[in-house]
Structure 1
Amino acid sequence: MDISVTGASGSRQSTSAPGFLSTARGRLTLTLLCAVAFLDFVDASIVNIALPDIRSELDFSVQELQWVPSAYLLTYGGFMLLGGRLADLLGRRRILVTGTVVIGLSSLIGGFAGNAEVLIGARLTQGVGAALMLPAALSILTTTFEEGPERHTALGVWAGVGGLASAVGVFLGGVLTEGPGWRWVLFVNPLACVLVLPAVYALIPGDRRRARFANFDVVGSVLGTGGMLLLVYALVEAPDQGWGAARTIGEFVGAFVLIAAFVVNEQRNPDPLLPLSIFRIKGLAAANITGLIAFAGLLAMFFFLTLYMQNVLGYTPMQTGAAYLPLCLGVAVAAGISSQLLTRTGTRPVVVVGALVASAGLYLLSRIPVDGSYLADLLPGLMIVSFGLGAVFVGVTTAANAGVPAGEAGLAAALLNASQQVGSALGLAIFAAIATSHSRHLMETNSPVPEALTSGFQRALLTGSVFLVAAALIALRTGNTRGDDGRRTA
């Protein structure tokens, strides 16, 4: 199998040739791929501030409302592995274009939704589109830019954009909701897709189909996707159903059975959806687990701080979104510094230190008071978290893609992003259960609502801090990718 690295022009790169990233076309290609990442990541958070308006206009019940953000997360995580493997086998540009079209059309339908069912259906379909787009884009990046400093820089920019997107999504959600209205939270996607599609054809070379559909692992696709969908669904529903409820236990058992059957099928299938040999790459599994645990702690932060600012401090959607702007700047700075450090220290120190810094920031945020102020109680913690978040994004993304053969780049990208999505669902489910249980207990003992809510948020954020310490410990087992050849060291 030819696994040589090719540039966007389709020509083979050699170590003696000038870096593709140093060319105008290379920089435009990286900008395009980062725009795709931004579009997918921002869709996970941009609707959160619009939820009260959505509930009012479309007459959502409280239980239905959680599915506006969760529906996207469900199919995004559930179909990620399938999307990555389709990109490897059927052509990365082809799958990227397909996902972009799906995102654009589903967002347009969601923006015109007249009832809850149509909007939730549109969000489910958006998640499928993102699951096709993101691993295809990341695998194009890792096979376009030569391994070593050039790829470290490209991955640093990519990871910085990913870290920014969650915070920027909250800000944009506030601006659009208070401005033209919540429907524009969805209408911006078709406009973005119209700009992305011509750029994809102009900058990304078409790649040949690597497999015939007759050889496609249909059984593995059904088992793997079904298992992931059921797992994410169980995590999303567990706080409402109860962790000890028979239905919750049954869903987790069902997910475990499907995933176990998937692993058995992959061991026996000559053309598996997930070649298990990929886990022989040193440190790859540890990098993905680190990402899962770290994202569980980090991304739930936006959920709880947004609730704190709006329900306790009385911030408007616009004010809440603006509160995250310094964090966006911090993530961008940290990502740039971290990408430069990779060739000097390797990925492992960057991830470990980043996770510990982010843990310290979350611990500081877990001390938010009922009568808190932005400058004294939110901004310091947000800035500390931003530096850790940027480092973790860059380090984990690089470590999870280093040393992967070009023919499995989409699979590696899908594994990383699937672990991040499962981590997000896991963190939100666990932390929401902790916060809700504690707040409810305090309210039952006649504590004022603001005090009860704040105390629940404090516990959730403190638990997130503990998760980041655990991620730092797991990161000690990752490969230490460093040097000009991207090699892994013990």
Structure 2
Amino acid sequence: MGITGWFNRQRIRQVAAGADAIPKVLEPIVISLPGSGSTTERSSPLDTPKIELSSPFDSEETLTLEKRPEFGRLASWRGGLILLVTSGSQFLDNVFMTSANVALSSIQEEFDVSSSNLQWMISAYTLAFGGFLLLAGALSDRHGRKNILCFGLFWLSVWTLAIGFGQSFIQLTIFRGLQGVGAAMTVPSAIGIISSYFTGTDRTRALSIYAASGTLGFCAGLIVGGFLTSSLGWRYIFYFIVIITGLLGILGAIVLPRDVHAERTTARMDYFGAILSTAGLILLQFVLSGGGVYGWSQPFIIVLLVLCVALLVGFILLEKYISNPIMPLPLWKIRNFAGLWIAGFTGYGSYQNVIYYIVLMAQQVDGLSAGDTALRFLPMGAIGFVVSLGTGKALEYMNGKYLLLAGMVLTVVAPIPSAITSSPETTFWVNVLPTSLISISAVSLIFVTTSTVILTTVPVQVKSLCGGMLNTAFQIGSGVALAISAAVTEAVDIEKGHGIAQQYATGLWCSAAIGGVGLIIALLAVRRKGINPSDRTGEPVAL
């Protein structure tokens, strides 16, 4: 069954159940004429609701338009402010990820945390972020993207402030996990708002700016985290960021387009599927993070891995047989959807793996401080911003497959300079900078292309869900890439007593291999048909 057929069946069920009921054929339309006591009655062959015009100032056109989605232009005050809120949420998500990385040493010193436990300050955020993305996407499409985005920013503000006042490492870890839940609410709802409010080339440009804001957030997180940690202290990172999240939430409540009930999914919520998917994804993230720390042969890691596989398999089987799935399986039958998802999975996973190793290389091999590391990564942010905007512009003229393949080729190439030159005798400008610039170019091409192509080929009712699914690919891909690299590095280098420079080189070669797998899949599974510029210039699809 195709995706169109599936959604049509859901529409029939909703009408039969009384949700958004439609009057019978030939039902009279009663119109009260202003200034008279009479009415005019006529029959229509269409399924049209009753409309009463009780005032000279009311019109049928006005009442109809109030039920339609809002569309707008990027080159307007309203469009610019909407893009500021949505892109600002993406910016903050990346700031949260990278600023905490730079502050880890100070947090470890203050709370006397072991190196093996320190990584949970980062993992708690990514666990919650990746695990709740699918559920957040479904909630956005069901309860309104504006509602979920504003609530997510409010939730972020509360727990960001709580981290700043945390009195123990356990508190920080818990608060970071709750912060990740808020970040998960903002991503799919922001993507859904952009892809529904803007149309044609405006949508493509808005998505490219949204992606560019992520690369800016990555570098801003390093800079803000580095300078605040070395001056005022790590707690001021969160005191400063909470001001931005609060202001964005208030602005979003004012300027974001209203939620249109007709766009939402009104069937009963698949609560059991939501529980299975969220629990399975969180367990998967935990196993991928914990396997490298505690060892893959540990019994509890093996048990949790089996449990997580069982939960995810059970989720897929459930979605196949119920009438109101949280993740409609026909989405995977949309042309290029699966290929683009896998490309995002491998491309973003390889990128995050590269970033993990080159940041460590800058500090532990090249001996740079947090502030010096942040300054040297500034060119990376600038290049990422330019490439993201350039990719959005190129999508207006080029087939998306070519840009995706270019990004995947760069993903394979990016780790090689650092892997070859990793040595205490070299400097940042030789063993880190080239890889950083190539890797940010690669992920910018991949992120903008996959987001734009996927979100312009799915029905409007599931745009936020698909945005959540795509970002789930990014998050899980990051965990898988780090787990593979950690396992290989452990077997090849750590057990043989090799130095950290050699360990990081091995991890980078793993990144190149993961990118190579993604390149082959993108080459074979993504077709040119359906992702030309002419296929992305229409109005949003509505069923």
SS of aligned partner of 1:345: coil
Preserved CA contact (<8 Å) 1:241 1:247: no
Q: Is the aligned partner of 1:308 residue 2:356?
A: no
Change (3 A) 1:10 1:182: farther
User: Aligned letter for 1:321?
Assistant: A
- For residue 206 of structure 1, what is the aligned residue in structure 2? 258
Task: Say which of 162, 177, 182 aligns to 1:109.
Answer: 162
Preserved CA contact (<8 Å) 1:434 1:456: no
Aligned alpha-carbon RMSD (Å): 2.1
Correspondence 1:18-97 to 2 at 5 A = 20-97=73-150
Preserved CA contact (<8 Å) 2:403 2:449: yes
Change (3 A) 1:358 1:263: closer
Correspondence 1:61-460 to 2 at 5 A = 61-146=114-199, 148-208=200-260, 210=264, 215-367=268-420, 368-443=422-497, 452-460=499-507
Percent identity between matched residues is 28
Change (3 A) 1:346 1:487: farther
Using the alignment, how far apart are the partners of 1:225 and 1:353 within structure 2?
Answer: 33
Using the alignment, how far apart are the partners of 1:195 and 1:300 within structure 2?
Answer: 33
- For residue 483 of structure 1, what is the aligned residue in structure 2? 533
Change (3 A) 1:376 1:263: closer
Query: What is the CA-CA distance between 1:102 and the residue it aligns to?
Result: 1.1
Using the alignment, how far apart are the partners of 1:83 and 1:373 within structure 2?
Answer: 43
Preserved CA contact (<8 Å) 2:165 2:235: yes
Query: What is the CA-CA distance between 1:10 and the residue it aligns to?
Result: 8.4
Using the alignment, how far apart are the partners of 1:479 and 1:271 within structure 2?
Answer: 30
Using the alignment, how far apart are the partners of 2:274 and 2:107 within structure 1?
Answer: 34
Using the alignment, how far apart are the partners of 1:13 and 1:113 within structure 2?
Answer: 42
User: Aligned letter for 1:419?
Assistant: A
Q: Deviations over 1:173-201 (max 9, x none)?
A: 21221121111222233111121012102
Q: Deviations over 1:216-270 (max 9, x none)?
A: 1111111111111111111010112222333222222111111111111112222
Preserved CA contact (<8 Å) 1:90 1:208: no
SS of aligned partner of 1:121: helix
User: Aligned letter for 1:308?
Assistant: M
Q: Which segment drifts farther, 368-377 or 74-83?
A: 368-377
Using the alignment, how far apart are the partners of 1:179 and 1:276 within structure 2?
Answer: 51
Using the alignment, how far apart are the partners of 1:187 and 1:349 within structure 2?
Answer: 43
User: Aligned letter for 1:269?
Assistant: I
SS of aligned partner of 2:414: helix
- For residue 461 of structure 1, what is the aligned residue in structure 2? 508
Using the alignment, how far apart are the partners of 1:306 and 1:435 within structure 2?
Answer: 17
Query: What is the CA-CA distance between 1:283 and the residue it aligns to?
Result: 0.8
Preserved CA contact (<8 Å) 2:154 2:245: yes
Q: Which of the two has higher C-alpha Rg?
A: 2
Preserved CA contact (<8 Å) 1:84 1:135: yes
User: Aligned letter for 1:229?
Assistant: I
Query: What is the CA-CA distance between 1:349 and the residue it aligns to?
Result: 0.8
So what's the TM-score if we normalise by structure 2? 0.82
Using the alignment, how far apart are the partners of 1:215 and 1:386 within structure 2?
Answer: 42
Q: Deviations over 1:109-163 (max 9, x none)?
A: 11111101110010010111111111111111111111x3221111111112223
SS of aligned partner of 1:128: helix
SS of aligned partner of 1:83: helix
SS of aligned partner of 2:346: helix
